Amino acid sequence: MDTRHTGGYTLGVFRRTRPRLTVVGRARITLVGQAIWYTVKRSSGARNARLEVRPESGLTIIIPRSFDAKRVPDLLDAKRNWILANLSKCSGRQPIPAGRGLESGDTVPYLGHDLKIVEQRGSTIGFGVKLEPGTLVVNLDKNRGRLGLVLEDWYRMQAKKFMKGRADRLSADMGLGYRRLTIRGQKTRWGSCSPKGNLSFNWKLMMAPEPVIDYVVVHELAHLKEMNHTRKFWELVGRYCPQWRQHRKWLKDHEAEIAARLP
């Protein structure tokens, strides 16, 4: 999927001219197992590098003109605890402390809603997961895997059924037929469409709201007709998903948050 990002800034109301900001680029870094996108901006007036975390734009690092951009990853790694804590504050959720996995009482998103994890032993659901209102009830066999792995297996199973149903309905609406659908765990993609007409979707999409998932499905189905990101491609996407810009922005804004929920 297209991951291009256009940055910018807003002039203030003061008479004094604000330092000019230039977008250097956008990149991805993994901090304590969490994938985080960040934007690098160069300031004509900055003396030192500084970090900003905002709900609408995520993580931004502003560097002086003399600062070597190759040093940015090292700086981010040094400030990883501050970054993760502030990204969590922006999302309104409590961070999972570095070094530990999921535990009973933590929350995970599912179709855009937070679900509380409740671990039960000796439950009638057997070894597995049961979806209840606002809750995921998990029964763990002490000899069979960790909580995070059990939940991932459950998400993958839900994704296989959910994405197949969405793809079948939307492909019929669009008059486009695909060959095969698979669920994967790509690190940098939400979905893909091969030249042979095979679709692939990331199981972590099940954490996003349903309209956002539909956008990703429409996006990949549109590639069956337009294997590019030209104007015709986006016109086709817009015909079946008028709010695609809003949904694409949601994915960019919440990418790090989704990665943090199920480390």
Same domain? 51 vs 125: no
Residue 3 located in a structural domain: no
Residue 82 located in a structural domain: yes
Q: Kindly report the pTM of this predicted structure.
A: 0.63
Return all residues near 256 (Cβ < 8 A) that are at least 6 apart. Answer: 34, 35, 36, 37, 58, 59, 87
Same domain? 114 vs 47: no
Residue 97 located in a structural domain: no
Residue 117 is part of which domain span?
Answer: 107-145
- Identify the weakest region by mean pLDDT among 63-72, 118-127, 184-193: 118-127
Same domain? 168 vs 197: yes
Same domain? 74 vs 156: no
pLDDT at position 215: 97
Same domain? 181 vs 135: no
Can you give the CATH number for the domain in which 242 is found? 3.30.2010.10
* 5-35 as b/e: b if 16+ CB within 10 A: eeeeeeeeeeeeeeeebeebebeebebbebb
Total number of domains in the chain: 3
pLDDT tens across 157-209, in order?
Answer: 999 999 999 999 999 999 999 999 999 987 768 999 999 999 999 999 999 99
pLDDT tens across 11-55, in order?
Answer: 223 334 456 788 888 888 888 767 788 889 998 888 889 998 887
Percent of the chain residues past pLDDT 70, beyond the cut: 80
Neighbours of 237 (CB within 10 A): 23
Residue 156 located in a structural domain: yes
